[in-house]
């Protein structure tokens, strides 16, 4: 549905993104993940047709975003990082205007606006001026704006930024609800967001794609095997030695001992079987107290930090400077 081929974008001497390629299939929700200034917004702007790439091309359902700009843009709904809206318009009036800009006739635009408002729970504020709305409502108006005209592709740049936890949950539910009929790319620097909503993750760092996979595959890729966290009241080194002797244990890593004499150990296992019962038995055999025993879930955060740490600074990185940062931010 979305195909990005070798996208590169320069702003003067500053390279915002370099050789970014990926495909997104119909109905997929893909998360775009990266630290601030990694090139997320630049990529999304190119995908939405705000400006063309310096090199490479974008196709939306086969339509080239530069050569067939009007047809390609008609397929895309975009939510910009800054939820920029006309503050002097009412919500209903604004969404109708957006529908007309997307090529709908007045009556159809009104119907679409009403549908988008229903979708984003905006009916209570339909007649309010956008300038008087709270941040959460404005954000939803921005999403509704993207939904008007029923675009097949949605490109959402940090849709949950600046929302309170309850609003974030609502927004995620809304995005998940779109899955059936739409293809969605959303960017974020909040990892739990990607885990909560996305089928696949694209990790971007310093303008380049570091990884592109499902969250599960990424987890597997970063660490083979599984880890178990064990907290024991007993001599740390002795406990480590005992646990190391268990079959299936690859390594035992002793964390700083707790103030009350407890020892915290991270046990790496081969993941063939669940060693928790064996470990518990070993600890009990020596008369130590077992305080905690749980599998160490690898989060996207760990994956992200590992990948970013492994990424050597690219030669082009030297051309990046702070003043140009706002272009890609």
Partner 1 sequence: MKLLVICRRELHAYFGSIVAYVLLAVFLVLSGYFFYSDLIFFVLFGGFTMATGLWQFVFLDMRLVAMLILPLVTMRLFAEERKLGTMELLWTYPVRDGEIVLGKFLAAWLFFVAMLLPTAIGPLVFHHFQPFAVPPVLAGYLGMLLLGSAFIACGLFVSSLTENQVVSAMVTYGIIVLFWFLTWNEEVASYELMRWLLGISLFDRFFQFSRGVIDTQDVVFFILFISFFLFLTWQSLATRSWRGVR
Provide the binding-site residues for partner 1, judged by CB under 8 A. Answer: 10-12, 45, 48-52, 69-71, 73-74, 76, 78, 80, 82, 84-89, 93, 97-98, 100-103, 145, 326-327
Cβ closer to partner 1: 11 or 254? 11
Would you tell me the crossing angle of helices 135-147 and 106-119 to the nearest 10 degrees? 130
Q: Please, which residues have CB within 8 angstroms of residue 171's CB and are 6 or more apart in sequence?
A: 139, 140, 143, 159, 160, 163
Smallest gap from residue 146 Cβ to partner 1 (A): 9
Cβ closer to partner 1: 75 or 242? 75
Smallest gap from residue 9 Cβ to partner 1 (A): 9
Cβ closer to partner 1: 130 or 240? 130
Cβ closer to partner 1: 67 or 69? 69
Smallest gap from residue 109 Cβ to partner 1 (A): 9
Cβ closer to partner 1: 31 or 80? 80
CA-CA distance, 66 to 295, in Å (whole number)?
Answer: 49
Smallest gap from residue 74 Cβ to partner 1 (A): 4
Which long-range CB contacts under 8 A does 267-275 form with residues at least 24 apart? 267/227, 267/228, 267/229, 267/230, 267/243, 268/225, 268/226, 268/227, 269/225, 269/226, 269/227, 269/228, 270/225, 271/224, 271/225, 271/226, 272/248, 273/248, 275/228, 275/246, 275/248, 275/249
Smallest gap from residue 84 Cβ to partner 1 (A): 3
Smallest gap from residue 22 Cβ to partner 1 (A): 20
Cβ closer to partner 1: 45 or 320? 45
Would you tell me the crossing angle of helices 165-178 and 135-147 to the nearest 10 degrees? 10
DSSP 123: G
Cβ closer to partner 1: 11 or 308? 11
Smallest gap from residue 200 Cβ to partner 1 (A): 23
Smallest gap from residue 203 Cβ to partner 1 (A): 24
Which has the closest alpha carbon to 284: 239, 220, 224? 239
CA-CA distance, 328 to 320, in Å (whole number)?
Answer: 11
Question: HEC profile for 277-313?
Answer: HHHHHHHHHCCCEEEEEEECCCCHHHHHHHHHHHCCC
Cβ closer to partner 1: 22 or 78? 78
CA-CA distance, 157 to 151, in Å (whole number)?
Answer: 16
Reading phi first (left if > 0) and then psi (alpha if -120 to 50, else beta), residue 261 is in left
């Amino acid at each position: 549905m979305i195909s990005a081929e070798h996208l590169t974008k320069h702003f003067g001497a500053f390279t915002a993104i370099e050789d970014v390629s990926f495909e997104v299939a119909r109905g997929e929700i893909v998360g775009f993940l990266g630290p601030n200034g990694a090139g997320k917004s630049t990529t999304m702007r190119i995908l939405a047709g705000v400006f063309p790439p310096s090199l490479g091309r974008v196709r939306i359902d086969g339509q080239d975003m530069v050569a067939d700009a009007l047809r390609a843009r008609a397929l895309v709904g975009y939510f910009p990082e800054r939820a920029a809206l006309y503050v002097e318009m009412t919500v209903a009036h604004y969404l109708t205007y957006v529908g007309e800009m997307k090529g709908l006739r007045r009556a159809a635009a009104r119907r679409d606006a009403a549908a988008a408002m229903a979708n984003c729970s905006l009916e209570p504020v339909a007649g309010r001026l956008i300038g008087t709305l709270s941040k959460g409502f404005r954000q939803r108006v921005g999403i509704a704006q993207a939904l008007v005209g029923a675009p097949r592709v949605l490109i959402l740049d940090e849709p949950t930024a600046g929302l309170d936890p309850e609003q974030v949950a609502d927004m995620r539910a809304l995005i998940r609800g779109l899955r059936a009929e739409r293809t969605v790319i959303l960017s974020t620097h909040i990892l739990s967001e990607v885990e909560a909503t996305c089928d696949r993750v694209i990790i971007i760092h310093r303008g380049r794609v570091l990884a592109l996979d499902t969250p599960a595959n990424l987890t597997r890729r970063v660490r083979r095997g599984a880890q178990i966290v064990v907290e024991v009241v007993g001599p740390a080194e002795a406990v480590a030695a005992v646990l190391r002797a268990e079959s299936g244990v690859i390594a035992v890593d002793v964390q700083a001992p707790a103030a009350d004499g407890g020892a915290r150990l991270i046990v790496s296992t081969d993941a063939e079987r669940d060693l928790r019962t064996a470990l518990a038995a070993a600890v009990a055999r020596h008369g130590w107290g077992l305080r905690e025993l749980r599998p160490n879930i690898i989060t996207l955060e760990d994956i992200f930090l590992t990948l970013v740490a492994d990424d050597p600074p690219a030669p082009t990185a030297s051309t990046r400077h702070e003043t140009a940062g706002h272009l890609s931010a």
